[in-house]
Structure 1
Amino acid sequence: LTDDSNDDYQYEEVSTDDECSLEEGDEDLSQALQTVQKQAEDAHVLASPSCLTSEKSVSEIPEAMDDFFCNFLVRLGMSRTLDCFQTEWYELIQRGALKAEDTGLVPTVYTRNQQLQDENMRLRKDLENYKLAANQAKEAFLKMQKERDFHRMHHRRVVQEKNKLISDIKRLKTHYESYEPVLKQLTEKYEAILRQKTLTSLERDRAVGQV
């Protein structure tokens, strides 16, 4: 076939809309279902705890090397050593005398050891405070115990004195009761003598009157 024959022949365009209209409708529906299912799966994956972004606490973030030493010196109260360290550290950095690994981050194990040491020191301070409070409570308890013993002894002494006084009162009462018959007898004798004296005085006055 020559090029002229190809140019003279009129080709008709075949329309595929009629043939694929049903297939396109099915494809659109299935594609929409797949999209919805995929979005649901993505939402489920994003909502799962394994895919959530976990924020590290401040204590888990590695410290810089100079911050680690500065915090160490501050905790020990070595202010002059801290000033010397900072001055010399930044001088070495400006001169480029320090390597990258020297100015990097402190390994996690050192940071963890430092945290454990800080926790240990805090617990030791708490223990000392508890011991001090316990000793103060013990001293207060011993003082109260001594005061209790003193008041108990004083109470016992007062009770003994009271019992002694009660015994003396009973003894005196018994002694008084033993004297009561004698007093009654003496009273009767006194009254008899007084009557006899009165009669004697009357008889004497009568005799004097007759004379």
Structure 2
Amino acid sequence: MATMAATNVRDVGPKDVQACNNTSTRIDLANIADVPYYVEKRYVRAVDNGEEFQYEEVPIEEFYDDDKEDTLDALIRNVKDQQRESQVITTSTSATVPRGTLTTQPEAVDDFVRNFLVRMGMKKTMQQFQIEWHNLSSSGRIKTNECGYLPDVVKHNEELSEKMKLLESEVDRYRKSAEKAREEFVKMKKERDYHRQHHNRIAQEKNNLVTFVKR
């Protein structure tokens, strides 16, 4: 394979050769166009691997088939398609995943007794109840699965009692706030009466002074 630099090629004569030989070795790059020079051929030898390479043109992939794809309508259409696909995926996923169900089981009698003792702070009674219950259940005199459960009415009454306690605490808090506001009102009323009396006294003294000056 042969390569040859072909830039700034011109005919070189004997006079130019002699002038080039007589010039100094330093060449001013600013006036490089006025300096004569030669063009020499150079040959580049390829590495002989015993194989011949075939060069093919690499196609450049086009990101868009047409310039019209860059329009606003095309972008809106693509966004709508993506939203539709996401909705389809969501509906299919929700249809395949089963929903869990929550079931409430009635409270057992022994659990009710334990919760009552804990709520009332009866620790010693709770400990004694645990010991006796364990002894009876281990000996087989009491079967835990046959003790039964509390009726729903008892649980409902407990919930109502808890709500009543919560409402009573809120009423007590509102009562305290109202009492505090009433005390503040009484205090402000006393201050108002004091300032009113002071103003009336000053006005009376002013009238007396005006009357005295007029005399």
- Give the TM-score, by structure 1 length: 0.48
Flag the structure with higher helix content. 1
Q: Larger C-alpha radius of gyration, 1 or 2?
A: 1
